[in-house]
Amino acid sequence: MNPSSIPDVLVIGGGNAALCAALMAREAGASVLLLEAAPRQWRGGNSSHTRNLRCMHDAPQDVLVDAYPEEEYWQDLLKVTGGITNEKLARLVIRASSQCRDWMRRHGVHFQPPLSGALHVARTNAFFMGGGKALVNAYFRSAENLGVKIRYEAPVSRLELKDGQFVAAWVGDERIEARACVLAAGGFESNREWLRQAWGQNERGEWPADNFLIRGTRFNMGNLLKFMIEAGADAIGDPTQAHMVAIDARAPLYDGGICTRIDCVSLGIVVNENAQRFYDEGEDFWPKRYAIWGRLVAQQPSQIAYSIIDAKSVGRFMPPVFPGVRANTLEDLAAQLGLDAGAFVKTVSDYNAACQAGTFDHTTLDDCHTNGVSPAKTHWARPIDTAPFYGYALRPGVTFTYLGLKVDEHAAVHFGGQPSANLFVAGEMMAGNVLGKGYTAGVGMAIGTAFGRIAGNRAAMAAKKKQGEYRAAA
């Protein structure tokens, strides 16, 4: 490669964080080459499945109502992560979320009022019109218009590093040099072998991860993440930590996205394959609890569970993508779901008998609860007694993984505690710095946008410095 054909900044990845980095680097005057592992029609990684950005704001702002101040946002993060976060980086993300939307709009992103069925985040989250794929399309268009070079089907297998600095990336047999590099190639949730190893074998001799479905992209194999960790980059996070929700067992193996969720758990009961209940279905509002149910189902035998409701609940939850298994008797429902009818009917009868009379209201934490059954159901407990009955099989659905590379406020990759001068990381590959575990809607995009923009800017600066060094040497 002659020096003039070497891009200033190489961006590895094609999702939100990668695109933010590419756009920022280009705006700072750098020449940019972006490598997306996926073919064009699958571009965008998990970002294509997202729908909103959690935004700090001190007053109502276009699509956002009321206020969501920094402190409240931070407390929310602290709560969901159980303290496994980095306050400095978290607050940086929070503040950036209050300032980035005009920049996003300039690159063609449109926002829309909260979706019906998502009013609980009307105050905190700004929704992308058309969802994440529309955002990804807008960023790719803007990047192309600005002269960012884009290559699809270009998965990077390894990097060439020298003294903690980026030298080149390898796509197959092709060596691609650049003056600086941003890694934004996602987590490893699509790598089933890695998930299998991370989750290991349980006490029943099962490999639980074999029964996981992947809600997101099929292209996040984590090859680069693995390479970096083996190359000595400082890592952060626990490989078994993943955002995991209970989704329809009939969902596709990959890319099921948002529509595969099952929202009727809190209205009925959930049993495992032995037809036994195993957790309080009415602990809290479903949007606050859905993220723990993936893990709960993962702990059940065969990693499967069944959400059971009766006719009273129809029309009171977001419509599911697949129709439920429907039966006029509990025995028939058990048979259709492949459960032991005797055990199932007993579980339902015990639960029904334990339901205390109350005033059902699925919009508040009502007083309908059970007495004398274990586990208890603490809200919205009504007998399952009105045919037709419906059952939905549930599986754990992995959204993304948390294992990543340790960064500072400049998004620099670290080796032995020392920041690299020209290698940066953004998005899922470093989200674990802020989000050690747990999740709250729209925070992944907030981290990706904030650190993508920082990484792009820093990479452009690093490239300029390198070019200066090259000229000085010549």
Partner 1 sequence: MQQLNSLTREAQALAAGIMPLSRNESEVGRIMQICNACRYCEGFCAVFPAMTRRLEFGKADINYLANLCHNCGSCLHACQYAPPHEFALNVPQAMAKVRGETYSDYAWPPLFGRLYKHNGLTVALALAAGLAAFLMLTVLLVGKGFQAPEAGNFYSIFPHNLLVSMFAPVFLFAALALTLGVRKFWRDVSPGRASLAAGGEALGNVLAMKYLDGGHGQGCNNADDAFTLWRRRFHHFTFYGFMLCFAATGVATLYHYLLGWAAPYALGSLPVVLGVAGGIGLLIGPAGLLWLNVRRHPEQGDVAQRPMDRGFIVLLLLTSLTGLALLAGRDGAAMGILLALHLGVVMALFATLPYGKFAHGIFRSAALLKWSIERRQPNNLQLGDD
Q: Evaluate whether 307 touches 392 at the Cβ level (below 8 Å).
A: yes
Exactly one of 154, 159, 267, 411 binds partner 1 (CB under 8 A); that residue is 267
Q: Using DSSP, how many helices (H) and how many strands (E) does the chain show?
A: 11, 20
In the complex, minimum distance from the CB of residue 189 to partner 1, in angstroms, rounded to a whole number = 16
CA distance linking residue 9 with residue 427, whole number of Å: 17
Which residue spans within 360-447 are E strands per DSSP?
389-401, 404-405, 412-415, 418-425
Exactly one of 117, 200, 338, 375 binds partner 1 (CB under 8 A); that residue is 117
The number of beta carbons lying within 10 Å of the beta carbon of residue 40 is 12
CA distance linking residue 158 with residue 243, whole number of Å: 26
Per rule CB under 8 A, is residue 421 in the interface with partner 1? no
Per rule CB under 8 A, is residue 235 in the interface with partner 1? no
With respect to partner 1, which residue has the nearer C-beta, 315 or 416? 315
Q: Apex CA 82: angle with CA 78 and CA 88, to 5°?
A: 40
Question: Looking only at residues 269 through 298 of this chain, which bind partner 1 when binding is defined by CB under 8 A?
Answer: 286-287
In the complex, minimum distance from the CB of residue 138 to partner 1, in angstroms, rounded to a whole number = 8
Per rule CB under 8 A, is residue 261 in the interface with partner 1? yes
Exactly one of 69, 74, 95, 134 binds partner 1 (CB under 8 A); that residue is 134
In the complex, minimum distance from the CB of residue 218 to partner 1, in angstroms, rounded to a whole number = 10
CA distance linking residue 43 with residue 140, whole number of Å: 10
Question: Looking only at residues 16 through 55 of this chain, which bind partner 1 when binding is defined by CB under 8 A?
Answer: 41-42, 48-49, 51
Exactly one of 234, 263, 340, 408 binds partner 1 (CB under 8 A); that residue is 263
CA distance linking residue 335 with residue 345, whole number of Å: 11
With respect to partner 1, which residue has the nearer C-beta, 88 or 288? 288
Per rule CB under 8 A, is residue 120 in the interface with partner 1? yes
Q: What is the DSSP track for 118-176? A: -GGGTTTEEEETT-HHHHHHHHHHHHHHHT-EEESS----EEEEETTEEEEEEETTEEE
In the complex, minimum distance from the CB of residue 319 to partner 1, in angstroms, rounded to a whole number = 5
With respect to partner 1, which residue has the nearer C-beta, 170 or 322? 322
Q: Evaluate whether 212 touches 298 at the Cβ level (below 8 Å).
A: yes
In the complex, minimum distance from the CB of residue 259 to partner 1, in angstroms, rounded to a whole number = 4
Q: Evaluate whether 376 touches 368 at the Cβ level (below 8 Å).
A: no
With respect to partner 1, which residue has the nearer C-beta, 85 or 260? 260
Per rule CB under 8 A, is residue 343 in the interface with partner 1? no
CA distance linking residue 70 with residue 356, whole number of Å: 41
Per rule CB under 8 A, is residue 311 in the interface with partner 1? no
Exactly one of 149, 158, 250, 312 binds partner 1 (CB under 8 A); that residue is 250
Per rule CB under 8 A, is residue 146 in the interface with partner 1? no
Per rule CB under 8 A, is residue 359 in the interface with partner 1? no
**Tokens (6 digits) for 38:** 């996926």
Contacting residues toward partner 1, per CB under 8 A: 41-42, 48-49, 51, 110, 112-113, 115-120, 127-134, 137, 141, 250, 252, 255, 257-261, 263, 266-267, 286-287, 314-323, 362-363
